[in-house]
Every structure is written in structure tokens, then in C-alpha cells.
Amino acid sequence: MASRRDNDLGTPPKHGPETVQLTIDGQPVSVPSGTSVMRAAASIDTRIPKLCATDRLEAFGSCRMCLVEIEGRKGTPASCTTPVEAGMAVSTQTPRLEALRRGVMELYISDHPLDCLTCSANGDCELQDTAGEVGLREVRYGFEGENHLAEPVDTSNPYFQFDGSKCIVCSRCVRACDEIQGTLALTVDSRGFDSKISASLDEGFFDSECVSCGACVQVCPTATLMEKSVVEHGQPRRSVKTTCAYCGVGCSFIAELQGDEVVRMTPDTEGGANEGHSCVKGRFAWGYASHPDRVLKPMVREAITDAWREVEWDEAIAFAATRFKAIQSEHGTGAIGGITSSRCTNEEVYVVQKMVRAAFGNNNVDTCARVCHSPTGYGLKNTFGTSAGTQDFRSVDEADVILVIGANPTDAHPVFASRMKQRLRTGAKLIVIDPRATDLVRSPHIQADHHLQLRPGTNVAVVNALAHVIVTEERVNTRFVAERCEDESFARWAEFIAGEENSPEAVEAISGVPAETLRQAARLYAGGSNGAIYYGLGVTEHSQGSSMVMGMANLAMATGNIGRNGVGVNPLRGQNNVQGSCDMGSFPHEFPGYRHVSDEATRALFAEAWSQDLSEEPGLRIPNMLSAALDGSFKGLFVQGEDIAQSDPDTQNVQAALRAMDCVIVQDLFLNETAAFAHVFLPGTAFLEKDGTFINAERRINRVRPAMPEKQGLSEWETVCRLARAMGYHMAYPDAAAIMDEIAALTPSFAGVSFDRLDREGSVQWPCNDSAPQGTPIMHVDGFVRGKGRFMLTQFIPTEEKASRRFPLLLTTGRILSQYNVGAQTRRTENSRWHEEDVLQIHPVDAETRGLKEGDMVSLSSRKGAVSIRATISERVPPGVVYTTFHHPDSGANVVTTELSDWATNCPEYKVTAVQVAPVNMPSDWQRNRAESQRKHDAITAE
Ligand code: SF4
Ligand code: SF4
Ligand code: SF4
Ligand code: FES
């Protein structure tokens, strides 16, 4: 297996304006100015020994291993810190250099444990390799004097350890934490012989500010920082390139294995989205894939009060098909439907929507994107003409003003956040619009220029006020608007937005953001050369989510911030494949590629390819399916990799709807909350077993490759094909690649995509077709997808959910770094050590008026329900606002969220719920009932 260090060129690439010519060991070399001598040598395959240098970090020049001689210069400069100069004549191998390097190495080794044969890094250690390279044969200095061999091992982090006895204080780890991750958790304490690496204030890694991203472990040249999995199992023997299955950043990884056991996940330096970086989830939290809770046999039961019965695949499929067909003959074709999962591959999602349309004979298919980014689809399609973000992640490197709205990338999109923070540290300005003071508002070396701490539910008023300032102060980019946008829609919008009701003064009263702050923020955004908007669920999960997306698009068009690097409107997608699940036709009104089911030509295309007449009637959305179930007209649901009983709002309503159905089929890894209402359980596959593609927030199509066989014996797409066939519709593919071939043949923006191409070239960003053969990193460069950009009116209409005397606080929700969504995966890993339970953040003033102390249990109640939860007192939330995460089912955050939703897409209004908080010392009724049903459920499952 090739070493992950094989291609390290020593120092990062430089792109100086000139080409410099020099000679190294007599060989001519040409490199861009600014390149180091070390990298120039590497470019002609001349390896200069090194320890403190790596091409992932700026050179530091501390180890003195990489010395060279340069004609006409005194001494032996370090090649990693010496830039090339025209005409330089460099020697890298002379007797003097060899002696010097051996001497330096001898000193290192004289204070290093000589346990190479039993060391976990044996075979993957740069110190060992370099000692061999420089020809070290003897160590003249003994260990009698002072040394570091008794330094303790810090094992506090659940995933990696720090063995101080092996540290050569090269400071790669410190620089990785600063330069790559941006957390600045590590320092070199003391000087000279006493120098040592310390996490925060020598607290140990677990208690320090370390966020466990693994960047330091990856760059450590010795076994000092080492994955515990490698310490326990030894070095990996084979590897498979694949893609993280957690968030929408879509990091590429190399899964490193021994047999079918993963030993390490190494972020891929060639990964288009992450360029070698990762977060704690993708890097370390993969253990859930082999967790004993995983269900590996299909199961059925007559009623949800019965015990599950393990059966063979054929019996489970026949049972499910018989039930679904019986429902259709009794209640009609439209009485069943399906939900696709944004956790699954495009190929798995595609076959589910095809099964619904072709085998079920209706369009009752929806996706979990309904509850997160459906307003993005609606808003960006109406303004720009396509339902996707406009930029690649690299684009942020060129942004001058960054506007982050309703997003907390440090926790939810950590690898992109690191990149954004690098840009902020080098001078970009930052505006944060969020009710909470997220990490971005203030973190090491970062301070937002403006934090618009608005009242939850007033996003649209705030974006209108920003646009008002831009229009009334004549800061519109008139040339861009005249050339690229519709005159009429702009004129109508400009008149609307200039209205007094949108002025900062009027909006101050609504949002609580001072008018002067609104004005300054608008001027800053409009005045930057490149203004980039990044947003998250704090934009979409509102009753005016779609209006807000259009409001941001209006703002970008009015200022000309679209169609080049450094600008754009960028949704930070939550789940790994939320973009893909939408692209694949998961909405009830759209075929793959966002084409309406009523469009005759598109329907004819699919009908012919699928050999089946297709319905022109849009199907039911998830909330409509649930209401129809309560009305008795919707009786059967196929749920792919989604836990609607936990993730969807108004839990008690969702549970009642599921209970009212005759057949619920759940395809998942674990018996989740929804499975408690299921009649058929079809075991799913973990990402390490899948063959397919995911699409990240940049529209980047990444390959997901199987690192091991399916533990339950069947791919998810094949399971769905079998169910479709049992329902009477022939659907079969030889492999996942053939599914992508069908997608490409039927979907213009995917026309140039195939597994072969992705395997050959790496990832590609759609559209990828004859007009864009290399894919499309930046959208709308010469024109909008819809032709001219359309300004949409975005009148602010306050949500019906208001604080009242009974419910005086507003609850908003969000995510935390270590957990993921409903926690089904991360709760089954050591990540729970960072976040064992959901807690409620409450401002000190609100806590005091309620007599609350840190850590008290409180009742959190809304007009929908109540739960008990632990409170933490925090100034991250302003008075009048409380905040919690939703990762643990027993905290039941969605018991209190309401039925209100976005006017255009029904995306639930998770981000605004009027609540009361009061001291309590017992679980809520809902929690007691849940615990009781869980107990019964466990008892019948165990039978
Ligand atoms: S822990 Fe590793 S990377 Fe950090 S200083 Fe020590 S040897 Fe270098
Ligand atoms: S794991 Fe990441 S955050 Fe923690 S010390 Fe290492 S680089 Fe810094
Ligand atoms: S940032 Fe997202 S995609 Fe990348 S490793 Fe973390 S969870 Fe996975
Ligand atoms: S590699 Fe150049 S000084 Fe360490």
C-alpha cells in the first residue's frame, strides 16, 4: 500500500508571477517564483531529508534536517525556508551535508525511545524513514542524561493519543491546528530542551479547545499523535477512496483497512471539497457502521404491537408488496407513497422515486429536504433559474465581504468553516445575521464586523432593510442589473424595497437590530469588490423561508455579486446528499433535473425510458401524506433512511399519522423512532458498503465506493428494485453504474457523468454536459440559467408564532459539532462524550427571573407539547430567546415545535416556537410515555 506521505513535496505550492530557473545537483529546474528550494528539488524527484516540513503547511525551518549548499552563499541554509532565485546552483548531497544531517538525526534519536519494532507507526514514521535516509548507523550519546523518555501519554481524547516521549517538537501539529483547522488549540510551551507541545493550557486534549478534527494527527511525522485504532490494530493494509456520509461539505476520504475492518479514515488531499482536511465526524465517527444495534436481517410483523419476526429477504419483500397492493386495491392508487433520504446515494434515491412513479403509479414521493432546504430550491429557481448554490468552496478564498446568515458553519459545516476562517484571518470582512452569537461572531483572531442579532422570525425584514439601504443610497450595481437582470422585475422590486416599511428605522422596531447597524452592514456588503452570501437552515426553516432565499438572491443581483469567484448565494447543505436527493426527482412535482411532472415532453421521455405510463398530477408532500393518513385516505409509506418520528416537527402529530397507516416500511440501519410504527423493516447499508455517488453543497458529484461487502447481504437499490418487481413493475440493473447511466441519459445537467469518468478524473460539478464538458464550478457566469435574473418581491409577513404572556420566549434550534442530526450514527460512537444530552441555552436574565441555576432541569413547553431538558445559562442567546439542539430522541425537541411552515414549500418553521421555561424535577408526560413505549418495544423486540 502506498504511504500517504509518498507525495509530500515539502512545502506548499507557490504561484509567483515569474518562472525562475536554477540548477539543483547540476540539473536545470524551472519553477514559479516564491517556490522553496526543497519543493523545486522535489519537482525533479530529488528528495531532501526533512522533518518539520510538509507541503500542507508553511515552512517553519526548525529541524535543520533539510540543509543544502548554495554556490556563493555561506553556510548551509534550510531548503524548506529558502526561496529559489534565478541562476542559483544548489547542492543537496555533499559529504558535509550528509555529516551535518547525520549529526542532527543522532541528537533526535538519542532522546527517542528505541522501540521501532513495537511502535504503532512502524513502517509509517518519517523519523524512522529519515534516519535510514541519512544513513544513521550509531548513536554515540546514551540516554543517561536528561531526556523525555518518561513523558506521559495523554489518552484523554477518545480517538487519538499523544505520547510525549516520541515528540520531536517539530511543531507541525501546532501549525496544522492554526493554519488548516483554525482552532489554535496547541502551543509549544517553554524553550530549548524543555519545549513541549501543550493543548490549550496544558489541560489534556479532551478538556482543551481541541475539536478533534485530526489535522495534527495527520501531519505528525512520528507516533506521538496517533489514532487509537492504529495503536490497537496496527497499520492498515489496503485502502479505498470514498466520501464522508455526514454533512453537505462532502469530504473525500481514504478508508484504510485491515481485511474488512476500518483502521483509519484519512482525509484525501486530492478531495475537491476538503483538500485533505476533515472534522471529527468523518475522520473518527465511523464506528456506528459495525455497532451491535445494527439490524442485519429483514423483519416483519402484522401489527405494531406485535414482536418483530426475522425473515429472509424474499419473504419480507413479498410481505411488503402484498400489503401495499392490498392498500391500493382498497383505497386507490394514491393511498401509498415514499420518502427518499438525503443520507442515501443518488442511485438509491433515484430508484425509490422511480418505484413510486412507475410501480406505485403516483407521484407521492417527497424527501427529507422538505424539512430543510426546500425553500432553497424554490427561491433560487425563481430568481436564478436553478435550484442550487452558485459557487465552489474555493471561491470563498476570493471573497472580500462574507455575509453568513442563519448558519453556524463551525459546528455544522466544519471543514468549510476552516476555509472561511482562513480567509477571514487574511482580511475579509464578516457580517453575521443570527439570533445567537455563534462561534464565528468571535473566535481566535476573528471578530465579526457586524453581528445583526435579530429576533427569530424577522429575517425577511432584515434582508429587505439591507436592500433598502442599497437602493435608496444608490449603491445598486446598475451595469450588472441592466445587462444581466429583467428590467421590469427590477423596477418593480426597487420601488417596493424603497418603501418606508423596509427602512432600517422601521425594521429596527421589528427585528431589534439597530438601524445604524443595518445601514453599516448594507454599505459594507455593497461596497466590497466581492460579496459572498452563505446561509443555512436559519434561513429556510421559517414560514417565510422561500421569501428569505429570494431576498438574498435579490441582494446579490442588485450588487452584482453573482457569476464569478468570490461572490454568490450559497446554501450550506445539511445532509451529505441533500443536493443529490433533490436533483434525483424526490419532490412530488418534479422528475429528476427539476422538470415538472405536468410537462408533457418530460413525462413522455421518462414514460418511454421506463416503459410505463406516468401520472401528470403532482403527488403529496410529507405533511400532506401525514394529514391524509389522519383522514384515512393514505395508508402505506416506504421510508428510506429517514426518521420522521424524530426529525419532523410536531412529533405527536407525526406519530399519530404513522400509527394510522396499515403498512409502514422502514429501510434503515437501526430500529429508529419511526420503526416503532413500522410493519416491515428492511436493513440498510452503511456508507462504507455503498457503491454510488453523493452530491455536496457545491454541486460536486463524488464517488462513494464500497470498502467492504454489505453486512446484511443486499444493496439498498437492489432491495428497492425487488420491491418494485414484487409490485408488478420490472425494474432491474446490473450494478449502480448502470443506474447513473440512466440518470445521465434522462437528465441534461448530468449528461456527461458516469462512474468511469468519476473514477478517472475525480469529482465533477454539475451541470456537466456538452455545454460544460468539464463541469461547472461557478454558475451563472455569462448569464443566468433562466436567461435574465428575476427580482422577486419579498414582503415581510410576520409568522403567526408569536411570544405571548403564556409563552413569552422564542425557541430556536441548531446543531453541534460532535453530533449529527437525529444522532442515529453519532450517538453510537464516542462522539457522545462531547455531547451526552441536548441542553437548553437561556440568557442569564431569563434564568434569573425564573430562579434557574446552571444545570437545572426545566420544563420547556409550547402550545404543542412539553419536554424536560437541562438548562445552561449562556450569553450566546439574547434575552427572550432560548436555543437547543435536537440530536437525542429522549429530549424530544420536536415535541414542542409547531405545524407552521414555509408558505411556498411547507418547510417546517423549526426556528421559531413560542415557549415557556420553568423549573421542574421530573420528565414530561411525553417523555414518560416514550420511556414506557420504549420499554414495551424493547421487550417485544427481545422476545
Ligand atoms: S506531536 Fe508530532 S507533530 Fe507535534 S511537535 Fe511532536 S512530533 Fe511534531
Ligand atoms: S485535533 Fe484538530 S483541533 Fe485538535 S489539536 Fe489537533 S488540529 Fe487542533
Ligand atoms: S465536514 Fe462534513 S463531510 Fe467533512 S468530514 Fe465533517 S461531517 Fe464529513
Ligand atoms: S525540514 Fe527544513 S528545517 Fe525542518
Supply 218's cell numbers: 495527520
Q: How confident is the model at residue 501 (pLDDT cuts 50, 70, 90)?
A: very high
Nearest 5°: CA angle at 605, between 600 and 607? 90
Ligand nearest to the CA of 210: 2
- What is the SS3 assignment for 307-323? CCEECCHHHHHHHHHHH
**Residue 434 alpha carbon to ligand 4 centre in Å:** 44
Ligand having the closest approach to the CA of 180 = 2
What mean pLDDT comes out for the span 440-463?
Answer: 94
**Per-residue confidence (pLDDT) for residue 2, from 0 to 100:** 55
- Nearest atom (ligand 3) to Cα of 283: 5
C-alpha cell recorded at residue 334: 394514491
Ligand 1 lining (C-beta closer than 6 Å) = 167-173, 197, 219-222, 224-225
Which H or E run includes 264?
A: strand 261-267
Contact of 926 with 867, CB cutoff 8 Å: yes
* The one-letter amino acid at 926: W
pLDDT of residue 143: 60
* 906 vs 85: which has the higher pLDDT: 85
Instruction: Provide the pLDDT confidence category of residue 844 given band limits of 50, 70 and 90.
Output: very high
For residue 6, the model assigns a pLDDT of 66
Examine the pLDDT at 151 and tell me if it is beyond 80: no
Which cell goes with 592?
Answer: 429528476
- The neighbour count for residue 459, using CB atoms within 10 Å, is 33
Tell me the pLDDT band of 928, cut-offs 50, 70 and 90.
confident
Helix ranges, 592-715 (H): 600-610, 622-631, 644-647, 651-659
Burial class (CB in 10 A: 0-12, 13-18, 19+), 195: middle
DSSP 8-state symbol, 877:
S
Gap between the Cα atoms of 325 and 634, Å rounded: 13
Residue 477's pLDDT band (cuts 50, 70, 90): very high
pLDDT at position 3: 59
Q: How far apart are CA 454 and CA 436, in angstroms?
A: 9
Return all residues near 353 (Cβ < 8 A) that are at least 6 apart.
Answer: 338, 340, 365, 584, 585, 586, 592
Q: What is the structure's pLDDT at 532? A: 97
Centre of ligand 3 from the C-alpha of residue 678, in Å: 31
CA-to-CA separations, 848 to 159, 816, 851, 916, 927, in angstroms, rounded: 39, 26, 5, 14, 26
Flag whether pLDDT at 246 surpasses 80: yes
Of all protein residues, the one whose alpha carbon is nearest to atom 4 of ligand 1 is 173
Ligand nearest to the CA of 279: 3
- Alpha-carbon distance of 242 to 784, in angstroms, equals 33
Relative to the CA of 49, which ligand 4 atom is closest?
A: 1
Ramachandran region, residue 573 (left: φ > 0; alpha: ψ -120 to 50; beta: rest): beta
> Which ligand is nearest to the Cα of residue 223, counting in written order?
1
pLDDT confidence of residue 350: 97
**Cα three-residue angle 390-396-401, rounded to 5 degrees:** 100
Atom of ligand 1 nearest to the CA of 174: 4
pLDDT given at position 822: 66
User: Which atom of ligand 4 lies nearest, measured to the CA of 64?
Assistant: 3
Any ligand 4 atom below 6 A from CB of 711: no
Please report the sign of the dihedral spanned by the C-alpha atoms of residue 301, residue 586, residue 535, residue 209: positive
- Candidate of 9, 50, 82, 130 to mutate for ligand 4, largest count of ligand atoms within 8 Å of Cβ: 50
Q: What is the pLDDT of residue 142?
A: 64
Beta-ladder partners of 19: 32
Task: Write out the three cell numbers for 740.
Answer: 447513473
**Ligand 3 centre distance from Cα of residue 394 (Å):** 16
Q: Render pLDDT for 697-724 as a digit per residue (tens, 0 to 9).
A: 999 999 999 999 999 999 999 999 999 9
Give the pLDDT confidence of 389-416 residue by residue, as tens digits.
899 999 999 999 999 999 999 999 999 9
Give 905 Cα–ligand 1 centroid separation in angstroms.
51
95 band by pLDDT with thresholds 50, 70 and 90? very high
Close Cβ partners of 113 (under 8 Å, ≥ 6 residues apart): 119, 149, 165, 166
Mean pLDDT of 908-913: 84
What is the DSSP pairing of strand 309-310 with strand 299-300?
Answer: antiparallel
pLDDT band at 141 (very low <50, low <70, confident <90, very high): low
Using one digit for the tens of pLDDT, what is the confidence trace for 173-201? 999 999 999 999 999 887 776 778 889 87
**Distance in Å, CA 143 to ligand 1 centroid:** 21
| Protein residue with its CA nearest to atom 2 in ligand 3 | 247
Which grid cell is 567? 461572490
- Please state which of the ranges 2-11, 18-27, 74-83, 233-242 shows the lowest mean pLDDT: 2-11
Closest Cα to residue 47, out of 38, 55, 59?
38
Block residue for cell numbers 500500500: 1
Select from 244, 264, 418 the residue to mutate for testing ligand 3; criterion: most ligand atoms less than 8 Å from CB: 244
pLDDT of residue 650: 79
Helix and strand numbers (H, E) in the chain are: 30, 37
Residue 77 Cα, ligand 4 centroid: separation in angstroms?
Answer: 10
- pLDDT tens-digit map of 792-827: 999 999 988 888 999 999 999 888 787 887 677 888
Chain segment 588-647, per-residue pLDDT in tens: 999 999 999 999 999 999 999 999 999 999 999 999 999 999 999 999 999 998 888 887
Output the average pLDDT for the chain: 91
DSSP strand E in 47-157: where? 69-70, 89-91, 153-154
Query: Which of 157, 172, 175, 186 gets mutated to test ligand 2 (max ligand atoms within 8 A of its CB)?
Result: 186
Mean pLDDT along residues 417-444: 94
Nearest bound ligand to the CA of residue 178:
2
**Of the candidate ranges 305-309, 344-348, 709-713, 829-833, the one whose mean pLDDT is the lowest:** 829-833
- Determine if the peptide bond prior to 767 is cis (ω within 30°): yes
| HEC-encoded secondary structure of 676-702 | HHCCEEEECCCHHHCCEEEECCCCEEE
Locate the ligand 4 atom nearest the alpha carbon of residue 10 and give its number.
1
Give the span between the Cα atoms of 513 and 127, in whole angstroms: 56
Report the pLDDT value the prediction gives residue 5, as an integer from 0 to 100: 63
pLDDT at 1: 59
Residue 940 confidence (pLDDT) above 80: no
Alpha-carbon gap, residue 898 to 599, rounded angstroms: 35
Residue 169 · residue 192 · CB < 8 Å: no
From the list 531, 550, 516, the residue with the least C-alpha distance to 791 is 550
Torsion of CA 743, 607, 641, 306, to 10 degrees: -150
**Closest listed ligand to the CA of 280:** 3
Q: Which of 62, 167, 210, 219 maximizes ligand 1 atoms within 8 Å of its Cβ, making it the mutation to test the pocket?
A: 167
Name the one residue in this structure whose C-alpha cell is 421589528: 510
Distance separating alpha carbons of residues 831 and 822, to the nearest angstrom: 13
User: Would you place residue 942 in the very low, low, confident or very high pLDDT band (cuts 50, 70, 90)?
Assistant: low
CA of 113 to the centre of ligand 1 (A): 15
CA distance 54 to 80: 9
Q: How far is the CA of 61 from the centre of ligand 2 (A)?
A: 22
The tally of CA atoms less than 13 A away on the side-chain side of residue 264 is: 24
Least confident window among 180-184, 344-348, 395-399, 931-935:
931-935
Ligand nearest to the CA of 219: 1
The mean per-residue pLDDT over the stretch 425-446 comes to 93
Share of the chain above pLDDT 90, in %: 73
Is 66 touching ligand 4 by the criterion CB < 6 Å? yes
Pick the closest to residue 904 from 657, 548, 602 (CA basis). Answer: 548
Angle at 897 between CA 895 and CA 899, to 5 degrees: 110
Give the residues surrounding ligand 2 with Cβ less than 6 Å away.
Answer: 176-177, 181, 183, 185-186, 210-216
